[in-house]
A and B are shown apart, each in its own frame.
Chain A
């Protein structure tokens, strides 16, 4: 899932300054799971903003709404069944940056600002802990690396083994983090597949990373091609 964290409150407050009526719009999918931008976090942010603005004697009206997903037009278009978007000067979105952008596209006459910094594609390790697992490189090497991604887990994204800096199996960058290539070595050894590590991996093909990327499913191509 997409993992995000809330922007510093000061930055959020500055980004909404000048607006008299604000809609804080949460997202009920990834950012709700990672406790950054779901219904509860929207409520906390709204209370915090109301208090901070009241302390400055600013008369700002703040409403809250959380929809299922902000990365899907179908859900965004339903917002007007709950609120009238045109009633607001500004929408403060607590979706990931993809959601913020789609929201801006759909309501392109409205100021939309982000409440979160989108950080990574990752997994939930346990309550309140998420770790990055994928850089979306479009050229997955996990079959050869024991299911551990060197592009993501290695601080240098090295493809052919560790640098010389790992100390007692920990990364030179952060002694709290395991060296990706030590993890890969241990996993492949356990699986009896160390031959995979001995293979020379060619340089990454950045040509397969289209930016901005678009994928159209085969079954839907007829809809979008002339």
Chain B
């Protein structure tokens, strides 16, 4: 077994991470093929938890498949769909099948998804979830009850360096670090000054920053523009560049962002999001000089 994701985080190595949508249905063939292609390409493979409030298979099942294929998973966990009992239960279940890396998120609002009449739970927020996962690692549940056997999680959180205003984000990210986040995966970044401002703020902590890179594609431009992807703030000039571009051009745009991040030595890794175009991830890395 090679270096774990947690070890890689502290190794100083530039990390490459991506995340996948679980299948909608029980057919695992497609996602198993994608996982196979990404083996050896990424340091860890994230699995989204009902991303954009669209109903998919629970991520723990896909994380198990990721492990079986010899890749280390990062399980995304959203506070939107479960209360504190269910979240803790799922965290323990995840630990029992070998999932160590947990990304704690609030979750996109249900109105973006395919079950708009669902009740948004948000019993606890992402700061609480990190705190709960930390407590489980230390042998207690949120209510302080002792556990018989406790997990050893490597905890991550999200943040948005492109947020405007940024200051409220920074206050929240400080809380996430305070309660146990050891890595941050950011929302997609486009402006290096914004990323630098964000990284400068957190650099006093030991938290590792993995910058989000999105493969922007022309067919999604209207949705990028109208806010259908919460947290994705693409500058207008880039939208114009992408509209009408072929996939190779899109890959190069993502690659250029990686080059800018790398050359400015801004952070500890990148998280590539390319839903539906995962086969392009090796090309994006190549275009980014990795």
Contacts and interface: CB of A to CB of B under 8 A. Distances in A.
Interface string B99-141: 0000000111101100000001011111110010000000000
Contacts, number: 97
A223 interface: no
B163 A203 contact: no
Contacts of B165: 169, 182, 185
Interface of B: 80, 84, 106-109, 111-112, 120, 122-128, 131, 142, 158-160, 163-165, 167-169, 171-172, 174-175, 178-179, 187, 227, 230-231, 233
Contact of B108 (A161, A165, A169, A200): A165
A168 B165 CA distance: 7
A143 B169 CA distance: 21
B227 to A, nearest CB: 6
Interface in A96-147: none
Given A172-B230, A172-B231, A206-B123, A160 B109 contact: no
A159 interface: yes
A165 B127 contact: no
Interface string A193-226: 0100110101110100000000000000000000
Nearest to B84: A203
B168 A155 contact: no
A67 interface: no
A179 B167 CA distance: 13
A167 B174 CA distance: 20
B187 A203 contact: no
Given A155-B109, A203-B124, A206-B123, A169 B164 contact: yes
Interface string A164-189: 11111100110100010110110000
B159 A164 contact: yes
Give the one of A157, A163, A182 with max B CB within 10 A: A163
A103 B215 CA distance: 59
Question: Which A-B residue pairs are the 9 nearest by beta carbons?
Answer: A161-B172, A164-B160, A165-B230, A172-B230, A160-B127, A164-B231, A185-B168, A163-B106, A203-B124
A172 B164 CA distance: 12
A125 to B, nearest CB: 23
Contacts of A198: 171, 174-175
Given A167-B233, A198-B174, A203-B128, A161 B227 contact: no
A132 to B, nearest CB: 15
A185 B171 contact: yes
7 contacts: A156-B107, A156-B109, A156-B120, A161-B171, A164-B231, A184-B168, A185-B165
Contacts of A197: 168, 171
A182 B168 contact: yes
B106 A158 contact: yes
Nearest to B167: A185
B69 to A, nearest CB: 30
Contacts of A206: 123
Contacts of A203: 84, 123-125, 128, 142
B175 A158 contact: no
Nearest to B174: A198
A161 B169 contact: yes
